Structure 1
Amino acid sequence: MEQIKQFFINIERTDIDENMDNLVSDDVIDSIDIMALVAEIEKHYGKALKAEFINAENFENFASIKKMLESAF
């Protein structure tokens, strides 16, 4: 979870933490934030995140992001 927090810090969203839910559905983050996160994730792992993983449900909260990363990488 610490790495996910670092991804948010890297895109200058220090206001987001692991206790927050509904990041997308409550408009806490938008598509621009998601694409910035994808760029950070790809930079961290050194390879592209497949398009099938880039959807709103996978970015709702830290747990869904973690689960997506475990499946993707």
Structure 2
Amino acid sequence: MQQIQEFFNKIDRSDINETMQNLLSDDIIDSIDIMALVAEIEKYYKKPLKADFIKAENFESFKNIKEMLEIAMQ
């Protein structure tokens, strides 16, 4: 979860933390934030995140992001 926090920090969204839920559906983040997160994720893992994984439910919480990354980046 610390790495996910770091991704948010790098896109200037340090106001977001792992206790927050419904990030997208409550308009806490938007599509621009998701694209910036994807860019940071791809830089960190040094490989692209497949488009199949870039869907709203995968970005609703830190838990969802973590679970998505465990599958997508193995």
TM-score, normalization by structure 1? 0.99
- Determine the structure 2 residue equivalent to 1:21: 21
The CA deviation string for residues 1-47 of structure 1, in whole angstroms up to 9 with x for no partner, is: 00000000000001000000000000000000000000000000000
TM-score, normalization by structure 2? 0.98
- Runs of 4+ off more than 4 Å: none
Give structure 1 stretches of 5+ with no counterpart: none
What is the SS of the residue equivalent to 1:44?
helix
For these two proteins, the number of residue pairs brought into alignment is: 73
Amino acid at match of 2:18: E
Instruction: Tell me, in whole angstroms, the C-alpha distance in 2 between the residues paired with 1:13 and 1:70.
Output: 22
The percentage of counterpart residues that share the same residue type is 68
Give structure 2 stretches of 5+ with no counterpart: none
